[in-house]
Amino acid sequence: MIQIKQVVATCMAGLLLAGLALLPGTTYGQTIPSLKDTFKNDFGIGTALNNAQFEERDPQMTQFIVRQFNMATPENIMKSALIHPKWDTYNFEPADKLVQFGKKHNILINGHTLIWHSQLPPFMRGMKSADSVRTFFNDHIKTVAGRFDGKVFSWDVVNEALNEDGTMRKTVFLDYLGDDYVTEAFRLAQQAAPNTELYYNDYNNEQPAKRAGCIALIKKIQAAGVRIDGVGIQGHWHVGRVPLKAIEESILQYAALGLKVMFTELDIEVLPRNFQGAEVSQRMTANEQSNPYTAGLPDGVQQQLAADYESLFKLFLKHKDKVTRVTFWGINDGNTWLNNWPIRGRTNYPLLFDRNNKPKSAFYKVVALKN
């Protein structure tokens, strides 16, 4: 028996020294728990996917995704600049591939997003009249939402329409279509996609002022007799400063409106940043202090990250009758957007899996809540 153990150990050591990859879902010969299976009776577990991932260019990554997640949101391909690049031209090919990927692997797809002030088609810069903006607005929602009705599980109908104080954000849609454009977007989506759940999505809408504005917006949609099924709290937070009290209050207040509550773009920043949220237009200047962990994350920060994720998932489980989905904005630390925002080229660690899809301490803290 001792000899057998020695042979096995020698073989494993040889494999590791040779740099041979372990199978997805395993680490040093041990099976990694599945997030989607761990929380299968509680809420869906999602991730953001890029083109290479849903086109299955890396078979091992595909296996990993399918084992860990049962919901997915596209990073970019359904945003209007990509899916509607010219006035009379739509590019559905990447989105169709995403839908096929979801169907093949039993992963529900959340469409992201129909109306957003950022990543607009270039031709919109030349629009100078309410008629042209309204024509784009109507045609875009009807065409895109209609094409994928019954093929995607849900849509982020409107994304980030609010300022931090809860007022309406100044956008081309607000300027030309007025305060009711969000309600109208949901009305059009309801007509075009009767078999699809319809959500409002934003960041920092767990914070009291922005939450109040979000609630007022939702009530306005409901008062107009228009369907809205849920609200997404993006969940871009910072290590050691996750606002658990505000998050819980938001779950309760949004659910009280009869809405599903979901966390749609979850990651926990570990690098220095002088603002919170996810305003994509904001930038910081690189300096000696802005990228401190290029050689690896210090153990103290790793443990704080794990504690933050553990506290978050305890809260999600406490309200699992209200929380329907938890989606991470990325699969692993290597493909998080936070490596390049708000400063390009940083080495960030905001997710549950490291750059080799190996689970971190935070992962084990989270799955241990169900064991």
Mean pLDDT of successive 10-residue stretches along the chain, which has 371 residues: 40 37 45 96 98 98 98 98 97 98 98 97 93 98 98 98 98 97 98 98 98 98 98 97 98 98 97 79 83 92 98 98 98 94 92 97 98 82
**CATH number for position 283:** 3.20.20.80
Helix, strand, coil share of the chain (percent; to 5): 40, 20, 40
Task: Report the half-sphere exposure of 323 (CA within 13 A, side-chain side).
Answer: 29
Is 206 part of the annotated catalytic residue set?
no
Q: Are 357 and 331 in contact (CB under 8 A)?
A: yes
Query: Do 246 and 326 have their domain in common?
Result: yes
Query: Do 140 and 232 have their domain in common?
Result: yes
Q: Check residue 25 and give its pLDDT.
A: 52
In tens, the pLDDT along 108-125 reads: 999 999 999 999 999 998
Q: Which residue among the candidates 75, 160, 206, 269 is catalytic per the annotation? A: 160
- What distance in Å separates the CA atoms of residue 338 and residue 272, rounded to the nearest whole number? 11
- What distance in Å separates the CA atoms of residue 289 and residue 307, rounded to the nearest whole number? 24
Q: Which residue among the candidates 75, 197, 265, 269 is catalytic per the annotation? A: 265
Query: Do 21 and 53 have their domain in common?
Result: no
Q: Check residue 106 and give its pLDDT.
A: 98
- Domains held by the chain: number: 2
Name the nearest CA neighbour of 72 among 264, 219, 211: 264
Query: Do 139 and 3 have their domain in common?
Result: no
- What distance in Å separates the CA atoms of residue 132 and residue 128, rounded to the nearest whole number? 7
CB atoms within 10 A of CB 341: 17
Whole-prediction pTM value? Answer: 0.91
Query: Do 84 and 18 have their domain in common?
Result: no
Q: Which pair of tokens denotes residue 298?
A: 């210090």
CB atoms within 10 A of CB 29: 12
Query: Do 9 and 69 have their domain in common?
Result: no
**Residue range of the domain that includes 304:** 32-368
Q: Which pair of tokens denotes residue 338?
A: 């936070």
Query: Do 190 and 98 have their domain in common?
Result: yes
User: CA distances (Å), 283 to each of 41, 138, 308, 316, in order?
Assistant: 40, 33, 25, 31
Q: Are 231 and 259 in contact (CB under 8 A)?
A: yes
Q: Check residue 167 and give its pLDDT.
A: 98
Q: Which pair of tokens denotes residue 208?
A: 């009291």
Is 55 part of the annotated catalytic residue set?
no
Query: Do 127 and 11 have their domain in common?
Result: no
Query: Do 262 and 335 have their domain in common?
Result: yes
Q: Which helix (H) or strand (E) holds 99?
A: helix 93-105
Query: Do 354 and 318 have their domain in common?
Result: yes
Q: Are 120 and 84 in contact (CB under 8 A)?
A: no
Query: Do 200 and 309 have their domain in common?
Result: yes
Q: Which pair of tokens denotes residue 160?
A: 């980030």
Name the nearest CA neighbour of 36 among 347, 325, 362: 325
Query: Do 117 and 141 have their domain in common?
Result: yes
- What distance in Å separates the CA atoms of residue 141 and residue 8, rounded to the nearest whole number? 58
